[in-house]
Amino acid sequence: MVRSVLGLVVAAVLASAGRAASLQPAPPPVEDYGRLPAIEFVTLSPSGDRYAFISTEHGRRRLVVATPAGQVLQANSLDELKVRGLAWAGEDHLLLQASATADLGGLRRSAKRELGAVIVLDLPRRHSFTVFSAGRGRRVTRAVDHDYGAAEVGGHWYGFFGGYPLDQAGEPGRRPISDLYRVDLDSGETLRVAEGGPDIKSWLVNTKGDVAARLLYDQAGGAWRLASGPAGGETIAEGREPTGQVAILGFGKTPGEILIRAGAAQHDTLETLPLAGGQAAQSFDTDQAGKPLFDPETRLWIGSTGDGEHQSAQMFAPEQQARLVSGVTAFPGALTRLVSYSSGMRRMILFTMGQKDSGAYWFVDLDRSSATPIGQEYPSVTADQVGPMSWVSYQAADGLAMRGVLTLPPGRAATDLPLVVMPHGGPEDHDRPRFDYWAQAFASRGYAVFQPNFRGSDGSGNAFRDAGFGQWGRKMQTDISDGVAELARRGIVDPKRACIVGWSYGGYAALAGVTVQQGLYRCVVSVGGVADPAAFLDFQRDANGAVGAVTRFWKQYLGVEDGHEDALKAISPEDLAARADAPVLLIHGRDDTIVPYAQSEAMADALRRERKPVEVLPLPGADHWLLEEPARVAMVRASVAFVLKNDPPDGLVQSAQADTAKLH
């Protein structure tokens, strides 16, 4: 009965939205796709009696706290903060996670870092402060290394954070070591509860505020050890993982268990281990286990969620699973994601996306059989302006099964369309049939958009991910063009009218599409892309140490051993600039701490030396993720205008000229 009533409520709301959408057939300005979501980071308090979110309107960001009835309790201006997340500590404190780019100085090429910060909001007192900035115990830099959760102790709430002691500041060449601190969420007073060390990777704090365990990792050799308590203690488990893919995820199904993730070749596992030591209680292959879900009050492992085509969360308790199913099945045909939930799963925040849906948040109250819309991510993109999305299955040249996402322009037949190929970043990431603002921006201008999940992508099992190791510019690259060939074979796209655009690793793949490969694309857009893999590897060595997990990770993906970096010239777009056979647009944030701006700068110089057409759009103050709206709008506007100029769709030449004019 709950399911049917809830479904009727949702259907009525969606039908109303659809009728309103039919009045606006014209696509919105391309800039609308680049704006930050109108609403994001929606999170429900543990009781479900209130929720918080970040809203953005006309470039102004606010933190909003509201009741399920829609009553706004508080709204705080965030100025120009780069928000990374929101979390509740009980019912009265919110932890706002943010970051800022900082120049640490020195002679290192990797001196810039994106440093984390946490702002505590005491809701009843309408008071806020930045962690490590207040209280008598402040002997710590304001940078937060990690958030280890919160605990109520004696009726008082404390947060637990990794932080860097001030006495480490200004020591050139030394990797900073974080200690674990307890921060009073009312006063900001800070107390160190566990001392860090070069081999301590993380801690686990229980609901009583005690350090239950810590993870130690040897960067030089890759050996790891899980030990009980803040220091000393018994060894709970140990192993070896050269690329550092081992982590404490939280508590297991009981307070006496710990849940960890440990990596191995083609076989990553989740394991629950007794905190007292002994054999693993349970072990799950991550291909099947999914991402763990934890109760917001007890912090115990209560279920898992996968990343499939539809909501695939599974709760261990039958009554909680029934509640989840009741909520999800109220949105038939939608790609539905569980975003947040109260203890006991009686209330939840769901996010819908997919056909005719640019992304919407819903508050679901199962006790009242109600589903109330909270807001849309992109309200100016109405239902009939959303380009339809679908999976496309195909085979790579060597027979490996592939699939990618195809987004079609709204209202146009899927025949002989111009194409934008958009490989994802990571490369350990993947795309699904969901509203993607960059893909939808191109679709709104008449392009089919293809997002291939090439080998090396996650989301299709560890063996598929591992098949990408050593395949940059090789099979990872031809997997992309094999997908284009399949779309052309089906008559959906015109392969002679294709451009390739990408971000981060996708930017590398875009540049490789006209240098390592040739004769495929009419133009290229690389956003924060790698142009010289050898220089990128040097950057990682400089930032993370010549001997360390991160460096080993990138060497594994690039398929190169020390002393053999010259082999990367064969897959380097910068070294192969003379082969470039299409115009290139390079967009890059000057404060990119993941792929340095120097990568695009060097690529531009190489193309100019070879008299190849290239344009550069530097984004001053912008980070790798373009977390601030002006940079993201500039990226979308410029990339769409560049593709329109070099490969205008039929009947849209005037639109192309107009959008190109905006670029200049």
Is 154 part of a structural domain of the chain? no
| Single-letter amino acid code for the residue at 167 | D
> Are 275 and 292 within one domain?
yes
> Are 236 and 333 within one domain?
no
Q: What sections of 22-161 are H helices per DSSP?
A: 30-34
Using an 8 Å Cβ cutoff, are 270 and 289 in contact?
A: yes
* Residue-level pLDDT at 15: 44
* Residue-level pLDDT at 59: 82
> Are 425 and 536 within one domain?
yes
Report the C-alpha gap between 247 and 649 in whole angstroms.
48
**Which of 18-32, 311-325, 589-603 has the lowest average pLDDT?**
18-32
Closest CA to 142 of 158, 127, 151, 129: 129
> Are 494 and 634 within one domain?
yes
Report the C-alpha gap between 62 and 334 in whole angstroms.
28
Q: Is the CA virtual torsion 471, 627, 582, 653 positive or negative?
A: positive
Provide DSSP, 141-203: EEEEEEEEEEEEETTEEEEEEEEEEGGGTT-TTPPP-PEEEEEETTT--EEEEE---TTEEEE
Is 171 part of a structural domain of the chain? no
**Which of 117-131, 307-321, 388-402, 489-503 has the lowest average pLDDT?**
307-321
* Residue-level pLDDT at 529: 97
* Residue-level pLDDT at 409: 96
Looking up residue 465, the CATH number of its domain turns out to be 3.40.50.1820
> Are 402 and 496 within one domain?
yes
**Total domains present in the chain:** 3
Q: Cα torsion for 225, 231, 236, 242, to the nearest 10°?
A: -10
* Residue-level pLDDT at 281: 72
Report the C-alpha gap between 605 and 539 in whole angstroms.
19
> Are 465 and 374 within one domain?
no
pLDDT digits (tens, 9 = 90+) for 607-622: 999 999 999 999 999 9
* Residue-level pLDDT at 651: 54
| Single-letter amino acid code for the residue at 544 | N
3-class secondary structure per residue, 304-336? EECCCCCCCCEECCHHHHHHHHHHHCCCCCCEE
Compute the average pLDDT of residues 323-340.
87
pLDDT digits (tens, 9 = 90+) for 171-200: 544 567 899 999 999 999 999 999 999 999
Report the C-alpha gap between 380 and 56 in whole angstroms.
13
Q: Which residues of 151-167 are buried (b: 16+ CB within 10 A; e: fewer)?
A: beeeeebbbbbbbbbee
> Are 377 and 397 within one domain?
no
Is 657 part of a structural domain of the chain? yes
Q: Is the CA virtual torsion 276, 278, 284, 286 positive or negative?
A: positive
DSSP structure class, residue 607: H
Is 611 part of a structural domain of the chain? yes
Please tell me whether residue 427 adopts helix, strand or coil conformation. coil
Residue with tokens 């404390």: 158
Closest CA to 30 of 571, 602, 438: 438
Closest CA to 315 of 325, 303, 324: 303
Domain extent at residue 356? 1-80+310-383
Using an 8 Å Cβ cutoff, are 83 and 98 in contact?
A: yes
Phi-psi region of 92 (alpha: psi -120 to 50; beta: other; left: phi over 0): alpha
Report the C-alpha gap between 52 and 327 in whole angstroms.
20
- Report in angstroms the alpha-carbon separations of 33 from 166, 353, 358, 442: 42, 15, 10, 10
* Residue-level pLDDT at 12: 40
Q: Which residues of 58-69 are buried (b: 16+ CB within 10 A; e: fewer)?
A: eeebebbbbebe
Report the C-alpha gap between 638 and 660 in whole angstroms.
8
Report the C-alpha gap between 431 and 442 in whole angstroms.
16
> Are 354 and 331 within one domain?
yes
Closest CA to 404 of 418, 416, 419, 394: 394
Whether the per-residue pLDDT at 392 is higher than 60: the answer is yes
pLDDT digits (tens, 9 = 90+) for 236-260: 999 999 988 899 999 999 999 999 9
* Residue-level pLDDT at 335: 83
Is 604 part of a structural domain of the chain? yes
DSSP structure class, residue 342: -
* pTM of the predicted protein model: 0.91
> Are 370 and 277 within one domain?
no
> Are 521 and 427 within one domain?
yes
Is 453 part of a structural domain of the chain? yes
Using an 8 Å Cβ cutoff, are 41 and 54 in contact?
A: yes
Q: Is the CA virtual torsion 333, 336, 342, 345 positive or negative?
A: positive
- Reading the block at residue 430, the tokens are 């993947």
Q: Which of 305, 335, 350 is the last residue of a domain?
A: 305
Is 173 part of a structural domain of the chain? no
pLDDT digits (tens, 9 = 90+) for 464-503: 999 999 999 999 999 999 999 999 999 999 999 999 999 9
Q: How far apart are the first and last CA of the chain?
A: 58
Q: What angle do CA 503, 506, 508 make, to 5 degrees?
A: 105
User: How many other C-beta atoms lie within 10 A of the C-beta of residue 116?
Assistant: 20
Strands of the 269-274 sheet, one edge to the other: 246-251, 257-262, 269-274, 282-285
> Are 517 and 594 within one domain?
yes
Q: How many residues does the chain have?
A: 664
- Reading the block at residue 94, the tokens are 């919110």
Is 488 part of a structural domain of the chain? yes
> Are 322 and 357 within one domain?
yes
* Residue-level pLDDT at 4: 39
Closest CA to 655 of 418, 424, 357, 378: 418
User: How many other C-beta atoms lie within 10 A of the C-beta of residue 203?
Assistant: 23
DSSP structure class, residue 369: T
Q: Which of 305, 335, 358 is the last residue of a domain?
A: 305
Residue 264: pLDDT band (50, 70, 90) is low
Q: Which of 383, 408, 429 is the last residue of a domain?
A: 383
